[in-house]
Structure 1
Amino acid sequence: LEGNLLRYVNCLLQDSDSNFWRKARFLVHTGNRQLASHKDGKIHLCKSWLSWSSPELISVSPLAVVSGQETSLLVRGRNLTNPGTEIHCAYMGGYTSMQINGSTYKGASYDEVNMGSFKIQVPSPKALGRCFIEVENGFKGNSFPIIIADAAICKELRLLESELGTEAKASDIISEEHAYDSHRPRSREEVLHFLNELGWLFQRSTAPLPKSSDHSLRQFKFLLMFSVESDYCALVKVLLDMLVESNLDMDDLSKDSLAMLSEIQLLTRAVKRRCRKMVDLLIHYSISSNDGNSKKYIFPPNLEGAGGITPLHLAACTSDSDDMVDVLTNDPQEIGLTCWSSLLDANGQSPYAYAMMRNNHSYNKLVAGKYADRRNGQFSLTIGVEDQHSGVSAVQLNKISLQFKQDRRSCAKCAVVATRSNNRFPGSQGLLQRPYVHSMLAIAA
């Protein structure tokens, strides 16, 4: 391209089988600061690209919005208030000029502009998509992606705003001499790459997803790893559903998709981060057969990684991971519970042995208690204040207890046991509150 940019742009316009490029408005820029623009059938060449006076977006808040919901945007960048600078919203091939509404702050390192009411309506039933906020002054400017999703995903993605930052850094400033050698912090580059890839995938989801290629599998790989490492449970669920939709082969995922998931070890990553909600999501994620009579769970707790290490082994040798052991031994197929002492790694060690070697004896007691309950036809409940790491809250437990009392049949033996239990533990009929710990015994009449 750098050798003869004009000739290559002409080839793109003349040799294309469709009128897409001939009717489009686009810009092409190369590493030696050449710029070619096409509009209304005319090509313009320009050598100047970015300079100290070029407008540049640093961040847009919020960076994720709900389809059909009005919101206001806070745009941060450099040289946004210069004469001739315009801000647009690009969506589905259309442009909308955005009027400045409210305060404009011009600081030493960045400008801050409060935009007016902003609303995007996605035609897809999934309500997923993307748009771009663009700033331009002549041929100078850049863009920032905005993700369109449901409220749960938007709440997760908005946590990324703190990683983009607003203060100008030395590596952020683009000079005339180093317009193409600028090096932004890696975290910022990765976040923007993630948003662009996610937006591209969401935009394609407005129509039925095509069968995945090697490129799309690499895209899913990056997006899933980033999302799991960020504890984005709602987003991971949507990404897995989209992966299944585009890679389903009969009643199972394609071999390439399964190989990709096996390589990135999502469940192991979630266990390392000790994110109970993510681990619970993954071990319960399944693919239903066409007739709906069977399910296949694609993230079992005994899924082997390097050296035969499984998520069970990892949790067993990690301190303060009782909740991880608990959720991994609560999988729907009861794999974690039944193979705790028999699942061996490459060195012949089981999760039970790992816990013993690391003095995590409480893990083995926890699993032994759950196994005994299972053998005796009983079940265990996690009792505590409800948060992201707990199971059942005291309020939920009280509702379960009341429902059980209403549904159970009375008998003399049960009444005697209940009376003795109430005498031993006064006040146990009410809500369980900390710091008291109550033992529970479920008796089937």
Structure 2
Amino acid sequence: IEDQELSTGFLPFIVAEDDICSELCTLESLMNDCDIDSSKFKERGEVLEFLHVFGWLLERFRLAYDLDFPNHQDSRLSNLEIKWLLEFSVERDWCAVLKKLLNILFDTKIGLAYYYMEQLLDEVSLLHRAVRRNCGPMVEFLINYVPQQNAVPQASISQLLTSPLFRVDKKGPSGVTALHVAAETAGAERVLNILTSGPEE
């Protein structure tokens, strides 16, 4: 990833899997538009920030494994940055990008401790966000997502496999479950069907 300031005009260069690149390519029209109005200027800045931070995280992950580069505590992202990356991905229906983020963040070599990640995800409420967006593929991905076993402490694996990370009956910040949100959302029949036929049911 390019390490210049945004004002230099350089765009981040990200090397990733095909499905991730396909999702990120949906930003091309915004990034290539030389005549954006003020309403799009802020969005473009947020996109650039996401690409820079996401690219930096991918590079840290590569260094940690390919070069056995130490991951010092002071080089990790803050909780606010992690939440923002996750929210940004869900709000754009990026399943592949979100999966990559979760896999990296759960990885014990570079991410947060497993229990801290659980707490952070509770605060972000990704499943509730996906249901409100009426995004079936994202909802299906989340309710079936399981962190890679080498990223989870052995003592937590059996509990994780019997208790999904994103539970459909778990209450969000507003005190309602994703099931209730889907039931009250017009045109969300497909999402409701996914929730009621998921691994918990």
Q: TM-score, normalised by structure 1?
A: 0.38
Are residue 237 (structure 1) and residue 99 (structure 2) matched?
yes
Structure scoring higher RCO (CA < 8 A, sep ≥ 6) equals 2
Q: Is the 8 A contact 1:233 1:281 kept in 2?
A: yes
Cα distance in 2 for partners of 1:310, 1:297 equals: 14
Unaligned runs of 5+ in 1: 1-129, 135-139, 172-182, 335-445
Matched residues in 2 for 1:276 and 1:148: separation?
27
2:141 to 278, 281, 284: 281
Identical counterparts, % of pairs:
35
Q: CA deviation at 1:184?
A: 7.7
Whether 1:314 and 2:173 are equivalent positions in the alignment is no
1:253-278 residue CA offsets vs partner (Å, 9 max, x unmatched): 22x32222111110011111111111
1:328 Cα deviation after fit:
0.5
Tell me the distance in 2 between the aligned counterparts of 1:170 and 1:154. 26
* Mapped pair 1:268 → 2:128: yes
1:344-388 C-alpha deviation (Å, 9 max, x unpaired): xxxxxxxxxxxxxxxxxxxxxxxxxxxxxxxxxxxxxxxxxxxxx
Corresponding position of 1:148? 15
The CA RMSD over aligned residues, in Å, is 2.8
Matched residue type, 2:98: V
CA distance in 2, matches of 1:293, 1:258: 15
> Which ranges of structure 2 fall in alignment gaps of 5 or more residues?
65-69
Pair member with larger Rg: 1
- Residue 198 of structure 1 pairs with residue 54 of structure 2: yes
Tell me the equivalent position of 2:34: 167
Q: Write 1 or 2 for the structure with the bigger share of helix.
A: 2
Q: Aligned with 1:299: secondary structure?
A: coil
Distance 2:40 2:193 in 1: 42
8 A contact 2:123–2:173 mirrored in 1: no
Partner of 1:185, secondary structure, is helix
Q: Quote the offset at 1:286 in angstroms.
A: 2.1
TM-score (norm. length: structure 2): 0.80
Q: Report the residue type matching 1:316 in the other structure.
A: A
Q: Any idea what SS the aligned residue of 1:333 has?
A: coil
Considering fraction of residues, name the structure with more strand.
1
Counterpart Cα distance in 1 of 2:28 and 2:82 = 22
Deviation string, structure 1 residues 184-224 (Cα, Å, up to 9, x no partner): 81111111011111111111011338376774332221111
* Shift in alpha-carbon separation, 1:240–1:158, aligned structure 2, 3 A: same
CA distance in 1, matches of 2:93, 2:177: 20
Q: Structure 1, residues 3-31: CA drift from partner, whole Å, max 9, x if none?
A: xxxxxxxxxxxxxxxxxxxxxxxxxxxxx
Aligned counterparts of 1:218 and 1:308: Cα–Cα separation in 2? 22
CA distance in 2, matches of 1:258, 1:221: 12
- Which residue does 1:217 correspond to in 2? 79
